[in-house]
Amino acid sequence: MFKNRIFKRIYTNKTSLAGFMLVAFFALVALFAPWLAPVHNSNNPYQMPQRSYEIAPQPPSGQNWFGTTEQQYDLYYGVVWGARLAFEIGVTVTFFAFLIGLCVGTIAAYFGGKIDELLMRLTDIVFAVPSLVLAMVIAAMLGPDIKNMMIALTAVAWPSYARLIRGDILSVKRRDYVTAARTLGARGPRILLRHILPNSIYPSVVVASLDIGYVVLTAASLSFLGLGAQPGTADWGQLIAMARNWVLGTSQNPLAYWYTVAIPGGAIFLFVLGWNLLGDAFRDILDPRQV
Amino acid sequence: MVRYIIRRLLLLPLVILGVTFLLFFLTQRLSPEMRASLYVKDPRQMGALEEVIRQYGLRDNVFKQYGRWLGQVVRGDLGYSPSANMPVAKAIKEYLPATVQLALVTMILVVLFGVWFGVFSAVHKDKWPDTIARFVSVGGFSLPIFVLGLLLLMLFYGKLGWFAPGGYSFQTDLIVHGPSFKMYTGFLLIDALLNGNMRVFMDVLSHLVLPAVTLCIGSFALMVRVMRSSMLEELGKDYVRTARAKGLAEWQVVYKHAGKNAIIPVITLASIQFIRLLGGTVIVETIFDYPGIGRFGVMAAQQLDIAGILGFSLMVAVLFVVGNLVSDILYTAVDPRIRLD
């Protein structure tokens, strides 16, 4: 019933359909990256091919459809494999953050009392600094690379899921059917796993999966600041970081290097836009009271 | 309510201790030589790091070191930042006003234009202004600020040459740090007015335009969305129909009756957004080379300047936690239906 409502909603609403199509498009690009842009370094497919060591970016041409960045990294390759990397980062971070949040939230709600208090204060600690700033500091101290960036993003993302799941479980815990199960003699862990979790987890799963766009945006910000993917990696944020030196253009044409920002920037924008449009539709379904 | 505030106030130092300990714990991954910058008070000491390491026991266990660091912080000593080339406390004092100034100007832009645009789209519901507003409110969330910032730089600095990056021009730098210019507050806009120097004022203001416009995009999108839905809700209420039935002019109905009630959620949202802007300043200040606390934090992070990172995080945490508490209290003050517990 829940599933049917979602699909019906997506098909009937123009904006959510657009969102769905954008996300699906990027998913296809990510999936078929090896065919769209053949790997040239089989040890690390995310390493962009470098045409030469010339410094200035080159405009789109027959050889480089989207042009090249500074030091002649192929933008087309970067954007295509960047889509794959975006999904990899988004899905991995969201999955682990959700898993940690699920464990912490469940433990807090189930045991209550001092353990609950302690775990919730732990989430307060993470919430005490804006997530981008905290992720930036953690990534810097772990050392800038993609793996450490994902650890940093997971570290700042889990508390919101922990709180969400804790709240959901607490509200389900008092329902009649839980009391009924208890009177019938079911014990704690069984009630938790068979009765409470299945009834409280789905909305959180949907909310979490829709955060993928936001995670990718934060990851791109970190890479842009030089605290994530390193130069030469097919990462959208990193591609834009390489464009920073070229905002001025040439004296004849001040906008000569527009493609270095607009193409990878457009990719991030459309990707996040897709997830946000999809997210709006899902939030309407999950919370029908909101207009 | 009072009990809630007292409880939050008691938890506040605990949360800040927690954050700083967590970050301090992370620094232990780095070599004692790198951590020594925390205890250096004078650039000359940087030459004799082994001495600093021995003197402050940087090979001791974490808790002992953390206690020592905390003792220093209480005395107002945050260490020496190699990336900013000055003590961290001095760097914060120098850079923070510029960031607050940027955030304030941004917030003014967000509230003024967000409210106006929200009302405009609600009044013209389902017509083209509304379509634009809805597109902006979704698009604004999705456009990364570093992309917008670079595009604006290309256009307004590269092509048109209207605005330049940085906090102020070279001439202003000479005036501001010259003998005749008095620093009263540290906020250059206010100080320029107090000194009666309009040239400095206009120069600083023009350097604020691009960063403020870039920074406001996310909050602006949210503001338009909230104002629009709040306005639509008020316009559908009975008292609006009564006002119309009385024969009031449409602008009076919209602005004097519905608008006054619709703006309540916007005020509380603005107070929350003001704090949230802190995260965005990190990126905006880096793009526009704006001499604020965010750029200081990024440079410290990029160069693994431990003293800078810890001092920056401590300051952000204090601002953020206190700001959140204040906005929560404001929330209840403006809207008595909300109860904190």
The verdict on B304 and B259 lying in the same domain is yes
> pLDDT digits over B15-67, tens only?
888 888 888 888 888 877 777 777 776 666 666 777 777 777 777 778 888 88
**Residue of higher predicted confidence among B306 and A93:** A93
Q: Classify residue B14: in a domain, yes or no.
A: yes
Name the E strands within chain B.
80-81, 86-87
The verdict on B219 and B304 lying in the same domain is yes
* Calpha distance B27→A289 (Å, rounded): 46
Number of H helices, E strands in chain B: 16, 2
The verdict on B93 and B214 lying in the same domain is yes
As a whole number, the mean pLDDT across chain B is 82
The verdict on B205 and B275 lying in the same domain is yes
Cβ contact, residue pair A124, B155, below 8 Å: no
The verdict on B285 and B172 lying in the same domain is yes
Nearest CB neighbour to A130, from listed B155, B309, B316: B316
pLDDT at A90 > cutoff 90: yes
Q: Check which CATH number belongs to the domain holding B110 and give it.
A: 1.10.3720.10
Domain boundary, last residue among B49, B65, B82: B82
CB A277 within 8 A of CB A16: yes
The dihedral region occupied by A269, where left means phi > 0, alpha psi between -120 and 50, and beta the remainder, is alpha
Q: Closest-CA residue in chain A for B287?
A: A244
Q: Classify residue B340: in a domain, yes or no.
A: no
Give the pair of three-digit tokens for residue B269: 């949202």
Q: How far is CA B228 from CA B256, B263, B319, in A?
A: 16, 10, 30
> pLDDT digits over A142-171, tens only?
888 899 999 999 999 999 999 888 888 888
The verdict on B112 and B43 lying in the same domain is no
Asked whether the whole model's pTM tops 0.90, one would answer no
> pLDDT digits over B274-314, tens only?
777 877 889 999 999 888 899 999 999 998 888 899 999 99
The SS3 assignment for B289 reads: coil
Give the pair of three-digit tokens for residue A9: 């909603």
Q: Classify residue B143: in a domain, yes or no.
A: yes
Cβ contact, residue pair B15, A225, below 8 Å: no
At A121 the pLDDT is: 87
Domain boundary, last residue among B62, B82, B102: B82
* Calpha distance A20→A127 (Å, rounded): 31
Structural domain count of chain B: 2
Q: Would you call B29 exposed, middle or buried from its count of C-beta atoms within 10 A (0-12, 13-18, 19+)?
A: exposed
CA-only gyration radius of chain A, Å: 22
Q: Closest-CA residue in chain A for B281?
A: A133
**By C-alpha distance, which of A226, A172, A250, A236 is closest to A204?**
A172
Cβ contact, residue pair B142, A240, below 8 Å: no
Nearest CB neighbour to B282, from listed A132, A240, A255: A132
* Calpha distance B137→A209 (Å, rounded): 21
Q: Closest-CA residue in chain B for A259?
A: B151
**Residue of higher predicted confidence among A56 and B84:** B84
Q: What is the dihedral of CA A56, A60, A66, A67, to 10 degrees?
A: -20
Task: Note down the domain range covering B46.
Answer: 2-82
Chain B hits for A131, CB-CB cut-off 8 Å, are: 279
At A215 the pLDDT is: 93
The verdict on B111 and B65 lying in the same domain is no
Q: Classify residue B93: in a domain, yes or no.
A: yes
Q: Name all domains of chain A by residue range, CATH numbers in brackets.
A: 2-286 (1.10.3720.10)
The verdict on B141 and B289 lying in the same domain is yes
User: Letter for the amino acid at B144?
Assistant: P
The verdict on B127 and B232 lying in the same domain is yes
Q: Is the dihedral of CA B83, B86, B92, B93 positive or negative?
A: negative
CB A196 within 8 A of CB A180: no
**By C-alpha distance, which of A228, A218, A227 is closest to A146?**
A228
The verdict on B293 and B209 lying in the same domain is yes
Nearest CB neighbour to B286, from listed A141, A225, A258: A225
Cβ contact, residue pair B157, A226, below 8 Å: no
Q: Classify residue B341: in a domain, yes or no.
A: no
State residue A153 phi and psi, 5-degree precision.
-65, -40
State residue A67 phi and psi, 5-degree precision.
85, -175
The verdict on B148 and B279 lying in the same domain is yes
Residue-wise DSSP of A171-212: HHHTSHHHHHHHHTT--HHHIIIIIIHHHHHHHHHHHHHHTH
* Calpha distance A230→A223 (Å, rounded): 7
The verdict on B220 and B76 lying in the same domain is no
Q: Classify residue B339: in a domain, yes or no.
A: no
At B160 the pLDDT is: 80
Chain A hits for B151, CB-CB cut-off 8 Å, are: 261-262, 265
> pLDDT digits over A21-48, tens only?
899 999 999 888 788 877 777 778 888 7
> pLDDT digits over B188-200, tens only?
777 777 777 777 7
Domain boundary, last residue among B17, B52, B82: B82
State residue B125 phi and psi, 5-degree precision.
-55, 135
Q: Which of the residue ranges A81-85, B253-257, B302-306 has the most confident prediction, judged by mean pLDDT? A: A81-85
**Residue of higher predicted confidence among A154 and B206:** A154
Q: Classify residue B70: in a domain, yes or no.
A: yes
Q: Out of A85-89, B242-246, B261-265, which region has the weakest mean confidence (pLDDT)?
A: B261-265
* Calpha distance B331→A85 (Å, rounded): 41
* Calpha distance B218→B101 (Å, rounded): 18
Cβ contact, residue pair A244, B15, below 8 Å: no
Residue-wise DSSP of B79-113: -EETTTTEEHHHHHHHHHHHHHHHHHHHHHHHHHH
Nearest CB neighbour to B15, from listed A124, A139, A213: A124
The SS3 assignment for A50 reads: strand
Cβ contact, residue pair B320, A220, below 8 Å: no
